[in-house]
Amino acid sequence: MSRRPPFAEWLSQTNDVTRTFLAAGGMADVINLGGGLPEPSTYPAADLARLAHQAVEEHPEDSLNYAPIEGMTALRDLIAKRFSKGPLRVGRGNVLITTGGMQALDLLGKIFADPDSAIAAQSPTYLGALDAWRPRHPVYRPMRLNANDLDAEAALDGARFAYTVPNFSNPTGELVDVTTRRKLVEAARATGTPLVEDDPYGALFYDGPPLPRMLELDAENEGEGEGDYDGPVIYLGSLSKELAPGLRIGWVIAAPEVIGALVLAKQGTDLATSSLSQRIALDALEDGVIERNLPATLDTYRERRSALCAALEAHLSEWFTWEEPVGGMFVWITAKDPRIDTDRLLSAGLDCGVCISPGSVFDPEGTDRRSVRLNFTANPPEVLEKGVERLARAVRGLIA
């Protein structure tokens, strides 16, 4: 094009690191530890082929016509039922179906953020969330969640919303402890600030039982009322890790007033989520496909986590520290050697045939040069070890 008007302002601030990871995923001979993809062989393909056929054959109108903006009624009801337990009562009006978990982030930015409004965000922050909110021009208040000096009330007060990934945060793999969860819920209650609990990895606990969700902890505050959930927690779920990301099925559970605003935003965003995907998701949930499939997936990922951590111990312990995560998809390693600049390590790694995610992309200020996110779900143990060996070679080159 010879000339054109300017693009919107935010586009001059964007980075394309995610695209670099995705492109590296397709590069021959590059081991990609920088992505965040599941292992495709864990998807229950035979079940899904059957359910895809069944969806269109038995429910052609449901599967092929526009779904309601809010989502397919039966799917909303089923999710409401699955999440209602103990004092938590989730009704249809608490549930919105989204086009993957990512769409929920886009919609939240749309309904809550005006230019320069504050978002209190767990730090470091999921890169996709930063991408989703860039067009809204927010400012960030970073929260170090497990730090014992966290003042959650100060962080939330006056923010448009707070953003957290309590189960195995992307990027750090950190599990937010129950005390901190309670502290966040109390702060949301005290300040009125909506508290987003983004939970794409909640099914991926490898050691021990899941911790209670903040949505559940908050329901204890709702008392013995008769109504559906009406508190400040906004819970985001997804089938991308438990079933298959290609379906693009996620959901939001929140107070009905928030769901209403999200529906208005979704109306102008994609009108509705694929009805075929929704019908397949409904049938997969009713059919128990996830429950049958998940244990083998967890075994695969548990083994890979251990393999990655063993390789780190063998090849990188001289220069980095980390904690072995109890779930999720990532290990976060931090350089103890001041000569290691992790932005430079991205290109040094690519030269050695390994792709990583440098910490800077998860930092709204982009200043972190000491950390790296490594993914362990997308590669088998022997490839993970080879990738770490290559990374060690890149480190040696960098500090030589």
Stretch 206-235 residues interacting with a second copy (CB under 8 A): 230-232
User: What is the CB neighbour count within 10 angstroms for residue 350?
Assistant: 18
Q: Is 100 left (phi over 0), alpha (psi -120 to 50) or beta?
A: left
- Tokens 């939240």, residue? 108
C-alpha 323/C-alpha 311 separation (Å) is 13
Whose Cβ is closer to a second copy: residue 100's or residue 359's?
Answer: 100
Stretch 339-358 residues interacting with a second copy (CB under 8 A): none
Q: Nearest 5°: phi and psi at 399?
A: -100, 0
Q: Which region among 63-71, 147-155, 168-176, 281-289 touches a second copy (by CB under 8 A)?
A: 63-71
Whose Cβ is closer to a second copy: residue 27's or residue 264's?
Answer: 264
Whose Cβ is closer to a second copy: residue 110's or residue 141's?
Answer: 110
Min CB(253)–a second copy separation in Å: 14
Q: Does 321 bind a second copy (CB under 8 A)?
A: no
User: Among 196, 252, 265, 285, which residue interacts with a second copy (rule: CB under 8 A)?
Assistant: 265
User: Among 20, 74, 78, 135, which residue interacts with a second copy (rule: CB under 8 A)?
Assistant: 135
User: By rule CB under 8 A, what count of residues binds a second copy?
Assistant: 93
Q: Does 160 bind a second copy (CB under 8 A)?
A: yes
Stretch 170-199 residues interacting with a second copy (CB under 8 A): 192-194
User: What is the CB neighbour count within 10 angstroms for residue 178?
Assistant: 13
Q: Which of 219, 42, 200 is nearest to 129 (CA)?
A: 200
Stretch 282-301 residues interacting with a second copy (CB under 8 A): none
Stated as kind and residue range, the H or E segment containing 163 is strand 161-164
Q: Return the half-sphere exposure (C-beta side, CA atoms, 13 A cut-off) of residue 254.
A: 28
User: Among 34, 71, 128, 364, which residue interacts with a second copy (rule: CB under 8 A)?
Assistant: 128
Over the window 96 to 125, marking each residue x when it contacts a second copy by CB under 8 A and - when it does not, the resulting string is ---xx-xx-xx---xxxxxx-x--------
Q: Where are the beta strands (DSSP E) in 30-159?
A: 31-32, 95-99, 118-122, 139-143
